[in-house]
Structure 1
Amino acid sequence: MLARFRLSPPVAFTVVAVTFVWFLAASSAPSPLYVVYQERFAFTDFTLTTVFAVYVLALIASLLVIGALSDHIGRRPVLLGAIGLEIVSVVLFLVADGVGWLLAARIVQGIATGAATATLPATLVDLAPRPGRAGLVNGTAPLTGLGLGGLACGALVEFAPAPTRLVWVLLVGGLLVAALLVALIPETIERRPGALASLRPRVGVPSRLRSGFAGVVPTLVASWSLSGLYLSLGPSVVTQVFGVRNHLVSGLVVATLCLTGALTGFLLRARPPVRVLAPSAAVLALGTLVTLVGVLSGSLVVSTVGTLVAGVGFGAAAFATFGTLSTLAEPHERGELFAATYTLSYLAFSVPAMIAGVAATVGGLRPTALVYGGVIVVVGIVATVLGRRVAAPAGPERVPATSRVP
């Protein structure tokens, strides 16, 4: 019966793009709330980053296990399952009254986001009204969602009633609408055997691509480690280091980095990504260094300027790393290569942040932020040097058909 009401491909493309943004907005919504939960449930910075990290580890596991499932059973069933799990996670947040509930909510949310992240980009490519449109949306939607989620949640916590409840009610409402609309999109994949076999986790880099991949790794690690710091401990730094208890400002910390990154990726869309690799790492390192000066001096203004510069580097790095890898790999190699890339990205996103949580609990938040940022500056400098080497033999004509960010 639903077949009579199927959406046209252009409308379905828009539905999937908005769903992509909504998913990532839900994943960053807890960031401004971490400070509230920390005060309400009386837990340490280590526990806070553990709540953050279990989400990413669950997401990685989901990516590795479910990543290829939609190629066998279809895009729509996987997306509907991911939305259903996301609704479960949001309800867990809604009723949470302790750390255990937060951990459970983030694990379920990680599984849901991993399944969605593996399927949404492919669905956009399937439905794209013209070449290049899917690459643009895949490159900007995740960062846009992360930024809007942090900003909107920060505003709701600061100005709206029931700060730990209202945001989740609104997210559930949006997810229910998304489920209804996704059920109406046309299926773009014919069912084929091998679904169970596709659930076996596989990750690796084809041997001929390892040299090029190694040149991209430092930029990848620096950019994702920085975003992990902002999304886990960023709001706590605003509260404890700068003494600002306005939750909207906490949300702006995440939004400044991510939305600046999304805009940068959009503006760079016509550039050869390999040529952006070294400059993106240099700008990321510079922005992080300026931010550290702000943290060291206690100046929120200086730190904000640094975050804006780092956001430019973050967006450029996302565009450059995934775009460069697209140019290196043949079509039949990209699935394996991007699975390895996503795994490394999310490990860089979570593991350093969790180590920082331990360090902040033992030695204090300000010294931890300074050391963490200092390491990112060093890695960024190394990435700048290696990025120049990767770009050197590449001709300007090597522009990928699509570049995307997880």
Structure 2
Amino acid sequence: MLELSEEQELVISALGDLAANEFAENAFTDDDERPVKNIRTLADRGFLGINIAEEYGGGGMGEFEAMLTIEVVGEVCPDTAEYLYNQQLVAPRAIEMFGSEEVKERYLPGVTDGEETIAIGISEPEAGSDVGSMNTRVKDDGDRLVLDGEKTWVSHVPHSTAAVVWARFPEGLGSAVIDFDWDGVEIQEHYTNMHGGSQSHFYIEDVELPETHVLTRGKEGFKKQLQALNWERVGSATLANSIARCAVSKALEYAQQREQFGREIADFQGIEWKFAEMIKELEASRTLAYRAAIESEQRSRPPNRLQASLAKLYSGEMVESVVSEALQIHGANGYQRGHPLEYLYRFARGRRLAAGTDEIQKNQIARVLKTHGLPTVV
């Protein structure tokens, strides 16, 4: 699809072999258990935090390489790919981009060695897509900062030691890092979503926030935070692409083994057309994600809003469609609880919600067009 450097090829080849040999057997679990063994293996082989600086134990590569790791692992084990997505392109990425040296030294080595997971808390009961309605606040109480509020629909809390939370500062929106074991931080409830993942609701009451734990604050700082959020959207697209690749791979294997009317079902035109449509949609989605990432790295800045939203929107719609067709090819087998396709079907649906709903992405795309017109030809 595109030409990779020799170093990128080596990384992807080694990681693909590792995933096939060590992750395949226990893939497709839905009990929300952190894939501890896989995380440890990735850390031991130097594949965890591949885009985090070497001084914090990472690989010192870029976000594009992080996307490649998500895609190659996800074709075998989507649960492990989701972990890579969250710990390479979401909260830890914000810490490295905006954090003080103290905060980076405190949290990033734990991420790259697989010992710590960092969550991200944005949504509140009355503020999801509308971050302007956020009520979690930081007040300046003389010689200290005090944080109060609540966050909901936060993923991975049971396995996380800390979270990047968005909050309203006196000078505008911003973000900070808090530990879950701090006094005043109380995890109230855990919810289970469709694919078995855990999401949590926690309160923050009168929590003293060290200045060193503030990542961004005020208009300009938060503007940079919003730009960095585009990496989460492109990462979400990459995770969706990996789930779709997994589904197509499973369907192709099944169709070439399953016989009806004296021949493989893969040879029936109706099934061939399904594969043609699936790979058409998947490759278009991968192209959008790759373009957003490559243009970003060429310009040394986060992906732009249009490209990130296009990739996020299209991939979410694509993966739901592709996994559905892959399940259809499996027939009743794929519909059984515990089958990989049944699991992927539930997993895929979340990609149209997480990292910004379809509707929000459409709003973003339309606003860019109304303000700047069509994208340039080159």
User: Do both share a fold (TM > 0.5)?
Assistant: no
Tell me which protein shows more helix as a share of its residues.
Answer: 1
Question: Under TM normalisation by the shorter chain, which class is it?
Answer: 0.3 to 0.5
Tell me which protein shows more strand as a share of its residues.
Answer: 2
Structure with the bigger RCO (C-alpha within 8 Å, sep 6+) is 1
TM-score (norm 2): 0.36
TM-score (norm 1): 0.34
